[in-house]
Amino acid sequence: MTIENVNIVRTSHYQSMSDHPPAKRPYGGVPSEERQRQRHDKLIDAGIRIFGSKGFHGATVREICVEAHLTERYFYESFKNMSELFIAVYSQVRQELMDQTKTALRHAKPGPDELLEASLRVFLEFIRNDPYRARIFLIEALSIGRGVIHVSGETARDYSNLLLKFIHNMYPDAERFGVRLDLMTAGLIGMNIHLATRWVNENFATPIDVVLRSNMLPYHGLLALLKQGIPDKA
């Protein structure tokens, strides 16, 4: 074999290696992709504890990593910055609450009062039982920036749409009274969030049943009007 042929074979071999890089080896029997996912989840769990206790603006990357038992290079493996981590933390909390709400609705009796009470109670119990998640969901999310505010706005719209669907199912001809139900449901969800935030800020001093009744009263009024028919204005 000539020198030229040897060089051609070597070049072909190296090109083949570059086209097909070796797969990342498992460590301790765990594939690298799974280890990366585990580190990502540890950072989110640490974010819940740190953001929930110190707030977003009082937290640092170092504190998050210490809490997660990871070095800072692994933080930047998963997130560009603290805002991106917070959005991931908020999104997880949001999904947890939505999953619990849907479960509560599936197990509730089918009446309007029962369904409303089930959804509102699970929301109030969720924030009361975990002050970290309550702070992240209701307070910190409104103090950071456009990206997070956009995500929290989507949460309000999700619950508003859930309520709108509920009203349409119970009273399919409700809009014939000449009202914008989408505006009404958005306002009701905003009221729930405001009352819940105040409850968090007062450290849950008011009994949950009192807060629940205060949240339910406007819904009772709306449902009563829809049931009897909203009178035309004179």
Are 133 and 150 in a shared domain? yes
Are 105 and 181 in a shared domain? yes
Are 105 and 150 in a shared domain? yes
Are 175 and 207 in a shared domain? yes
Q: Please indicate, yes or no, if residue 26 is contained in any of the structural domains.
A: no
Q: What local confidence, expressed as pLDDT, does residue 183 receive?
A: 86
> What element of type H or E holds 221?
helix 208-228
Q: What local confidence, expressed as pLDDT, does residue 3 receive?
A: 46
Are 185 and 92 in a shared domain? yes
Q: What local confidence, expressed as pLDDT, does residue 223 receive?
A: 78
Q: Please indicate, yes or no, if residue 41 is contained in any of the structural domains.
A: yes
Q: Please indicate, yes or no, if residue 22 is contained in any of the structural domains.
A: no
Residue 160 near residue 185, CB atoms below 8 Å: yes
Q: Please indicate, yes or no, if residue 199 is contained in any of the structural domains.
A: yes
The CATH number of the domain holding residue 57 is: 1.10.10.60
Residue that finishes a domain, picked among 79, 96, 111: 79
The predicted model scores a pTM of 0.79
Q: 29-60: b or e for each residue (b if 16 or more CB lie within 10 Å)?
A: eeeeeeeeeebbebbbebbbbbbbeeebeebe
What Rg, from alpha-carbon coordinates, does the chain have? 26
Cα 184 to Cα 203: distance, rounded to the nearest angstrom: 29
Are 74 and 103 in a shared domain? no
Q: What local confidence, expressed as pLDDT, does residue 24 receive?
A: 56
Q: Please indicate, yes or no, if residue 24 is contained in any of the structural domains.
A: no
Kindly list the averaged pLDDT for each block of 10 residues, start to end, along the chain of length 234: 47 48 57 92 98 95 97 96 94 94 91 88 96 94 75 83 82 76 87 94 95 91 74 52
Four-point Cα dihedral 8, 12, 14, 15, nearest 10: 130
Are 69 and 138 in a shared domain? no
Are 107 and 168 in a shared domain? yes
Are 105 and 44 in a shared domain? no
Q: Please indicate, yes or no, if residue 4 is contained in any of the structural domains.
A: no
Are 105 and 210 in a shared domain? yes
Q: Please indicate, yes or no, if residue 169 is contained in any of the structural domains.
A: yes
Q: How many domains does one find in the chain?
A: 2
Q: What local confidence, expressed as pLDDT, does residue 214 receive?
A: 93
